[in-house]
Structure 1
Amino acid sequence: MTRRQTRQTAAGLLVVAVLVLLGASGRHDGGPATSRSAMPSAAAQPSPEPSAAPPSPSPTVAAPPSTAGGVAPGPGKGVAGSLTHTGTQAVALTFDDGPDPVNTPRILQVLREHHVKATFCMVGFRVRDHPELVRQIAADGHTLCNHSWQHLLNLAKREPGYIDWDLRHTNDMIHAAVGPDVPVRYFRAPGGNFTPELVAKAKSLGMESIYWDVDPQDWNHKPDANAQAHIARVVRDVQRHVRPGSIVLSHDNGQPDTIVVYQRLLPWLTQRFALEPLPCAT
Structure 2
Amino acid sequence: MRKLIALFGLLFMAAPLFAAGPSQVATLDRSVWPDPIDSPAAFDRASRAELLAFGRALSESEQLDDDALRDRLKLKSLDRGSVEHMRSVYWHRLAANYALAASHCTPAEPFCAAGSGESALREAAAHLSVAAEDRYGAWFQAAQRFHRNYLSELLRLAALFPKTSSEVQTYSPRELSGNELADREFLLTFDDGPTAANGNTDAMLAILRQQRVNATFFLLGERLQSRLQQTPEAQLAANYRGMCTGAHGWEHKSHSTWPEWQNSIELSIGLVRSQLPDSFVPLFRPPYGQREADSGKFFDDHVLRVTLWNIDSQDWNAKVDADHVKQRVMTLMLLWRHGVILFHDIHAKAQTAVPWLVDQTRTSGVHWIDCHAFPPTGR
Using the TM superposition, give the Cα deviation of residue 207 of structure 1 relative to its aligned residue in structure 2, in angstroms. 1.2
- For residues 11-66 of structure 1, give each alpha carbon's deviation from its aligned partner in whole angstroms, at most 9, with x where no partner exists: xxxxxxxxxxxxxxxxxxxxxxxxxxxxxxxxxxxx9943426579xxxxxxxxxx
Say whether 1:147 aligns with 2:239: no
Could you say what secondary structure the match of 2:312 adopts?
Answer: coil
Say whether 1:252 aligns with 2:354: no
Q: What's 1:175 paired with?
A: 273
Aligned pairs for 1:43-192 (under 5 A) are 49-52=6-9, 54=11, 78-81=169-172, 82-85=175-178, 87-89=180-182, 90-101=185-196, 102-131=199-228, 132=231, 134-139=236-241, 141-153=242-254, 155-159=255-259, 162-179=260-277, 183-192=280-289
Percent pairwise identity: 20
Is the 8 Å Cα contact of residues 88 and 244 (structure 1) preserved in structure 2?
no
- For residues 112-138 of structure 1, give each alpha carbon's deviation from its aligned partner in whole angstroms, at most 9, with x where no partner exists: 011101110110111112244751354
Say whether 1:237 aligns with 2:333: no
Q: What's 1:4 paired with?
A: none
Tell me how far apart the structure 2 counterparts of residues 200 and 221 of structure 1 sit (CA, whole Å). Answer: 37
Across the aligned residues of Structure 1 and Structure 2, the Cα RMSD in angstroms comes to 2.7
Q: What's 1:67 paired with?
A: none
Tell me how far apart the structure 2 counterparts of residues 48 and 201 of structure 1 sit (CA, whole Å). Answer: 21
Q: What's 2:358 paired with?
A: 266
Q: Could you list the runs of 5+ residues in structure 1 that have no partner in the other structure?
A: 1-46, 57-75
Using the TM superposition, give the Cα deviation of residue 244 of structure 1 relative to its aligned residue in structure 2, in angstroms. 3.9
Structure 1 stretch displaced more, 86-95 or 118-127: 86-95
Could you say what secondary structure the match of 2:363 adopts?
Answer: helix
Tell me how far apart the structure 2 counterparts of residues 220 and 192 of structure 1 sit (CA, whole Å). Answer: 16
Could you say what secondary structure the match of 2:295 adopts?
Answer: helix
Tell me how far apart the structure 1 counterparts of residues 322 and 12 of structure 2 sit (CA, whole Å). Answer: 41
Q: Partner letter of residue 170 of structure 1?
A: S
Q: What's 2:40 paired with?
A: none
Q: What's 1:11 paired with?
A: none
Using the TM superposition, give the Cα deviation of residue 235 of structure 1 relative to its aligned residue in structure 2, in angstroms. 1.0
Q: Partner letter of residue 205 of structure 2?
A: L
- Are residues 198 and 136 of structure 1, via their aligned partners in 2, closer, same or farther at CA, if it must alter by over 3 Å? farther
- How many matched pairs? 205
Structure 1 stretch displaced more, 96-105 or 202-211: 202-211
Tell me how far apart the structure 2 counterparts of residues 194 and 107 of structure 1 sit (CA, whole Å). Answer: 28
Is the 8 Å Cα contact of residues 123 and 147 (structure 1) preserved in structure 2?
yes
Equivalent in 302, 305, 321 of residue 208 of structure 1: 305
Is the 8 Å Cα contact of residues 186 and 339 (structure 2) preserved in structure 1?
yes
Using the TM superposition, give the Cα deviation of residue 262 of structure 1 relative to its aligned residue in structure 2, in angstroms. 1.7
Tell me how far apart the structure 2 counterparts of residues 202 and 53 of structure 1 sit (CA, whole Å). Answer: 25
- For residues 102-161 of structure 1, give each alpha carbon's deviation from its aligned partner in whole angstroms, at most 9, with x where no partner exists: 00111111110111011101101111122447513541x1111110000112x22222xx
Return the TM-score normalized by structure 2: 0.49
- Are residues 194 and 80 of structure 1, via their aligned partners in 2, closer, same or farther at CA, if it must alter by over 3 Å? farther
Using the TM superposition, give the Cα deviation of residue 185 of structure 1 relative to its aligned residue in structure 2, in angstroms. 1.3
Is the 8 Å Cα contact of residues 179 and 310 (structure 2) preserved in structure 1?
no
- For residues 167-222 of structure 1, give each alpha carbon's deviation from its aligned partner in whole angstroms, at most 9, with x where no partner exists: 1110121133224x754311110001133333432232111111111112011111
Tell me how far apart the structure 1 counterparts of residues 266 and 224 of structure 2 sit (CA, whole Å). Answer: 13
Return the TM-score normalized by structure 1: 0.65
Tell me how far apart the structure 1 counterparts of residues 282 and 6 of structure 2 sit (CA, whole Å). Answer: 28
